[in-house]
Chains A and B, each alone.
Chain A
Amino acid sequence: MIHDGFILAGILFALGTAGVLVRRNIIFMLMSIEVMLNAAGLAFIVAGARWSQPDGQILFLFILAMAAAEVAVGLALVLRFYHQYKLLDVDAASKMRG
């Protein structure tokens, strides 16, 4: 089960990556990033359970705190982005010319 737990984490992580790469809507990209973070946390918990130690959960706690802070700031940025570009398309924020 430990082994399968890792595989589960890996699959979720890969799905999150695919989500980041595919969707152009910022909200969806942020959601996919949350999925990736969650998968990483799952991997930590599985590792902690393997050794029956609290360290896994502690690190999951830290990841959680970080995800919370990141979402707060990220969504504030999304609001600013929408305020300026009137769109949620992330490709609109590209001023480079080739």
Chain B
Amino acid sequence: MKLTVWGARGSVPAPGPETVRYGGNTSCVQVELSDGTQVILDAGTGIRGLGLALDRAAAGGRVNILLTHLHLDHIQGLVFFAPAFKPDSNITIWGPASAEGSLQERIARYVSAPLSPIEVRELPCDVHFQDAPESEWEIGPARITAASVAHRGPTLGYRITEGDTSLCYIPDHEPALGVPLDTLDDEWVSGFDLARGASLLLHDCQYSDEEYGEHVGWGHSRLSDALTFAHRTEAERVLLFHHDPLHSDDALDAIYESAAAGWAERGHDPGEIELAIERESLDLRAVTAA
């Protein structure tokens, strides 16, 4: 299992000289499974660069896109995803169910006039929309689990497991909304089972502890809650994600220093935690169970 971050920014793209190191594109993570199967986590603006890379590698034939939710920073890149404009592409888009309408209907609100020059039905690729099931399902050699997590509106987190290696992706998450996270039993922590014991946890860390007070209920985590969540779920490694668009590279460096210190205070090796950086890759060895 190989992971590449194509966008780690939250809320809105934040390009500019002050964000060149961590990147300004919104949420998109490429996961390449051991057999080459492509799984894409979210379709923020980062998916544009990924689409071009897949195009160059001629690997864009069959793609699964797992959307955590339909906020714009997680779907904005869909109409700029090069494989979607190739007739030989087969794209399945998974996302949260809603009583409001089908997944296709809800995505079509964005992929339609006047917000988009193209309609879903005009895409030349073979595209399918699927509500993420509540039970585990398979994509290639991996098992996929989705679970609702605390954010604004229907929102999922995902767990991708191949062999003994597991990646948990919860980019938008406010597990401590209204209650101190360390006072809750495990069963009452949003996303707990999904993240438990993951080889790598990608988790929301939009705000510093100082900033969070102005953003309670916005659906995102402060640093200390992200660390507590990762600690309690026993994540082996942690990538903090969904950087606030107001956070410059220097500000994120400072958050990293606090994160490493906080992780060490919780009894872990500070080398196990990092902030997600656009275009950085990480190899996770897929260990097949005997």
Q: Do A and B come from one complex?
A: no
Chain B residues proximal to chain A, CB less than 8 Å: none
